Amino acid sequence: MDSEHRIVELLERIQANQQRQLDGLQESLRLQREQFEIARTQFERAERLNDRAEKIQASGAKMVATARRAMIIILPVIFFLLVYLSWLMLR
């Protein structure tokens, strides 16, 4: 009888340890899911920021291209006006 009681006690200990391990695994899984959600949220935010940065860079490139085209027109006009002003002053 005593050995049966000891076996039952050992089995109960094993079961308690298994339950603790299972609880620990469930907590670990919960934490992993939380970390995954945080990482997913950060990835989505980074993706949105990258999209926004690309749009800003594209609009900046358009502005630079427009400024270059404007300079092609404005610089000769300024040069012509300087030459004309110099001619008027020296005349």
* Residue 19, pLDDT above cutoff 80: yes
More confident residue, 47 or 3: 47
Which pLDDT score is estimated for 17? 95
* Residue 56, pLDDT above cutoff 80: yes
Average pLDDT, the chain: 95
Q: Is 91 helix (H, G, I), strand (E, B) or coil?
A: coil
DSSP secondary structure string, 23-89? HHHHHHHHHHHHHHHHHHHHHHHHHHHHHHHHHHHHHHHHHHHHHHHHHHHHHHHHHHHHHHHHHHH
> Domain limits of the chain?
1-91
pTM over 0.75: no
Which pLDDT score is estimated for 8? 92
Distance (Å, whole) CA 57 – CA 51: 10
